[in-house]
Structure 1
């Protein structure tokens, strides 16, 4: 289905009420060969295209069962409940490089610490949670100035805590047109501290330089990606996801966009830190890319 936060259009057949297609800025979803079981209707074929390029195609076989055995809802062998996230803490990933774990929401804030300043990546979910994270960062990096808050993109779950950082001396960085998006959601006072990044920019934290790259992503046009060269760590929001527990899934379209940015910038990445899920190594990212390409049909020969 289209990614949350993006405008989408839908074509519905008037006579039957069946959805024929749905379209986002980058992808088209086509639904065909509807079948009926009693009053239940479902397309038997779903096709996903990026422009004219075929991305995925599913054939669905649905079956209605009138009598369901109670044991059908038993948990499968090997099922693991979501683990206790533990207390709020700053996990050291590499020297001067941290990710916040144990938040009530399950979201993760990253931050980099230099000799005089700190850069923070995203302010998820709420001002209350961000205030706790901010206090943790100040405790972890005493005497350092909280100089930058880098917003990966302006979807509300990534920026809702921004007011907790909107203090004197903190520069809030957003992508192209991100200032307007922040103003619409969080008000003019917070937006007045936003600086838009429309070309690559370096942040000096004191003995640690952070590169900020704007990316016109299909997920959000104001996307920013941060790269810490000292620890070869890349901080991103929603471009690459690994579940907290479980196998590596194939990347979405946005993962291919991130791969292109890494190649274009010749970035030597060892680990990728996201707001959702667990952190990943370069090898795990490459595996997710391989899984995506393996699922794509081969290109037609001309």
Structure 2
């Protein structure tokens, strides 16, 4: 099928800032280009800035361009999707510190070591845990995740909420103050999640007065009580170790005294004989007996005849 001579009518409307001009992305596929320009307009990206309308208009210098053109039908098959057949803004030359988007708006620099990816709609690519248009937001108590629109969001952990997950969730009627939960009476915990009435024998609806006790004072009292208890336990441990060492030294001194007395005492008093120390009933010790001496000398030797 020959689609060469076929041309499709199209229209465009685009806002170009800072003196930018609309141009077709592929001039070879465009003919009969018309262009109309309106007066200066306030761009939505500059509406949050302070100052008068005239000052914001001169700063943005944005104009609305619209017109018509004919697009070659063959361009619909030569390009991927709609890329290459649209209209964009031709921006002025940028300096080394300037960057522009597709509408020639000045882009703020990315914060916190972020950088812009011009292949992804010139968005800032932010390192963890930063996110936002220029990486200005910090995901405090949560994890960064990507939404359905492709932007990064902060998913909060339990008991935290807000865009940056900085707001604490205080349960049971507690209120947040200076990143702490001020809990009502009978409730404790970092998020007032502990009901003391459930762990004690008192009634849940029992009141102990109408005085208002600040959570900071309660935390200070508990810290002091814990410190005093720790000091008492340390003192008891030191005294116990001292008494134990003293008792061991007394036992060792008593044993040493008994040993010295045993070594210095004779077995049966002074002048005793060693034979008195030995018992005659001891089977291992035999008494010494002297051999008798014969008057005539030793008996004569007598030979015996051999047997058999």
Structures share fold, TM-score greater than 0.5: no
Answer 1 or 2: which has greater strand percent.
1
Tell me which of the two structures has the higher relative contact order, counting C-alpha pairs closer than 8 angstroms and 6 or more residues apart.
1
Larger radius of gyration: 2
TM-score range, shorter chain: under 0.3
TM-score normalised by L of structure 1: 0.18
